[in-house]
Chains A and B, each alone.
Chain A
Amino acid sequence: DAKTTQPPSMDCAEGRAANLPCNHSTISGNEYVYWYRQIHSQGPQYIIHGLKNNETNEMASLIITEDRKSSTLILPHATLRDTAVYYCIVGRYYGGATNKLIFGTGTLLAVQP
């Protein structure tokens, strides 16, 4: 599985958009970009995933560059409850036993009041 690089920490003001970057320059053609977050002392929560098109759901938007070597997770209006560690991961789309999703150390997003 491709490795990802994320900044260790970021701050964001409450009510503003939070833009979390991720580099995945070695991503292969059949690998998706997944984003998870983990609030302290809880299990990781799935946010969104995408292949090459931009994706949006009720939680966030995912922007993937045309060359697929990087992506940005956007939380449009960050709240204090969005303070968490955000993980960017690449993995195979079709699941199966080998899609284990390798987690790195993520980005700690601190939303400030």
Chain B
Amino acid sequence: DVKVTQSSRYLVKRTGEKVFLECVQDMDHENMFWYRQDPGLGLRLIYFSYDVKMKEKGDIPEGYSVSREKKERFSLILESASTNQTSMYLCASSSGQGIGGGTIYFGEGSWLTVV
């Protein structure tokens, strides 16, 4: 089974702090994604990466950056956390190859509260 692991399930951070959310996948997938999920807004794509050191902006990249130094690891960085970044963050991956390659697999989510 595909496993996408997010390092922190629950975090509380102060406004202005730099926050790192880590994600690791164990299926050698090419693509990795960061979404955030808010009530009434569904899942919104922040950034994605289709290869090591490659990244693309999603629909709501403002206030975020990402890092992908190794294929299995994709980090989301909040440079200066703000209260409107309080949300659940979801990491996901997909192989991008062959049959079912478009299927995206998600981690359990990280609940971030910025106070």
Contacts and interface: CB of A to CB of B under 8 A. Distances in A.
B106 A44 contact: yes
Contacts of A46: 103-105
Interface in B93-115: 94-97, 100-109, 111
Given A95-B96, A99-B96, A104 B90 contact: no
A105 interface: yes
11 contacts: A32-B102, A41-B109, A43-B107, A49-B102, A92-B102, A95-B101, A96-B31, A96-B96, A97-B56, A103-B42, A105-B40
B106 A97 contact: no
A103 B103 contact: no
A44 B111 CA distance: 14
Contacts, number: 68
Interface string A36-55: 00000111111001000000
Contacts of B109: 41-43
Interface in A4-59: 32, 34, 41-46, 49
B42 A49 contact: no
A1 B37 CA distance: 19
A109 to B, nearest CB: 16
Interface of B: 4, 31, 33, 35, 40, 42-43, 45, 48, 50, 56, 58, 90, 92, 94-97, 100-109, 111
Contacts of B40: 105
Residue from B43, B50, B58 with most neighbouring chain A CB atoms (10 Å): B43
Nearest to A91: B102
Residue from A44, A91, A104 with most neighbouring chain B CB atoms (10 Å): A44
Given A46-B104, A95-B96, A100 B58 contact: yes
Interface in A37-87: 41-46, 49
B50 A49 contact: no
Residue from A32, A43, A102, A105 with most neighbouring chain B CB atoms (10 Å): A43
A82 B35 CA distance: 24
Given A44-B90, A97-B48, A100-B58, A49 B103 contact: yes
Contacts of B95: 95
